Amino acid sequence: MKIKLLCIGKLKEKYYAEAAAEFQKRLARYCSLEIIELPDEKAPENLSPLQKEQIKKAEGERLLSHVGSCEFAIALMIEGEKLSSEKFAEKMDGWMNSGKSGICFMVGGSLGLSVEARNRADFILSFSDMTFTHQMFRIMLLEQVYRAFKIIRNETYHK
């Protein structure tokens, strides 16, 4: 199964990059993982609502240009559905067996995802009502994808 993470922004801290590399290595036995980092728009303080929407739209266009028409697309948003790790694994198993060519996770920039990216999503997922840095969230997402594969295959993993 092919899994793609589309992320606005880069991992800047070495420890986050090392954690991402570790999960990429672990996931290699379960899937073909591709992480695509796309540039974020400059977002100075005190943006007007219109400027915020323009930034989200530009970033959304970049994200959507990498979503395949045959991929199951998942938008990561605070407003999405919250799942336990077990339910997430159950959903992942279903998505992998849905006949789609792969699963594509969309992680927006600091202002969130555009309406267009949200509308393209086949599922909207939330990890929490809390806000996380994009760097930290990416590691959390990779860990949960790894955990889902372990659960699906009934393999032990630290609880």
CATH of the domain at 125: 3.40.1280.10
Number of separate domains in the chain: 1
Verdict on whether the full-model pTM lies above 0.75 = yes
State the pLDDT at residue 6.
97
**Can you give the pLDDT of all 159 residues of the chain as single tens digits?**
899 999 999 999 999 999 999 999 999 999 999 999 999 998 888 899 999 999 999 999 999 999 999 999 999 999 999 999 999 999 999 999 999 999 999 999 989 999 999 999 999 999 999 988 889 999 999 999 999 999 999 999 865
Bridge partner residues of 104 (DSSP): 4, 73
Evaluate whether residue 158 is within a structural domain. Answer: no
Cβ-proximal residues to 127 (8 Å cutoff; 6+ apart), any chain: 76, 82, 137, 140, 141, 144
User: CA-CA distance, 120 to 118, in Å (whole number)?
Assistant: 5
State the pLDDT at residue 65.
97
Residue range(s) defining the domain that contains residue 82: 2-40+49-151
Evaluate whether residue 125 is within a structural domain. Answer: yes
Evaluate whether residue 84 is within a structural domain. Answer: yes
Bridge partner residues of 2 (DSSP): 32, 102
Evaluate whether residue 99 is within a structural domain. Answer: yes
- What's the length of the chain? 159
Evaluate whether residue 111 is within a structural domain. Answer: yes
State the pLDDT at residue 159.
59
Of 40, 104, 43, whose CA–CA distance to 76 is shortest? 104
State the pLDDT at residue 157.
80
Q: Is the backbone of residue 86 left (phi > 0), alpha (psi -120 to 50) or beta?
A: alpha
Evaluate whether residue 157 is within a structural domain. Answer: no
- Phi (first) and psi of residue 72, to 5 degrees: -85, 115
Which amino acid belongs to residue 32? S
In the three-class reduction of DSSP (H, G, I as helix; E, B as strand; rest coil), residue 72 is classed as strand
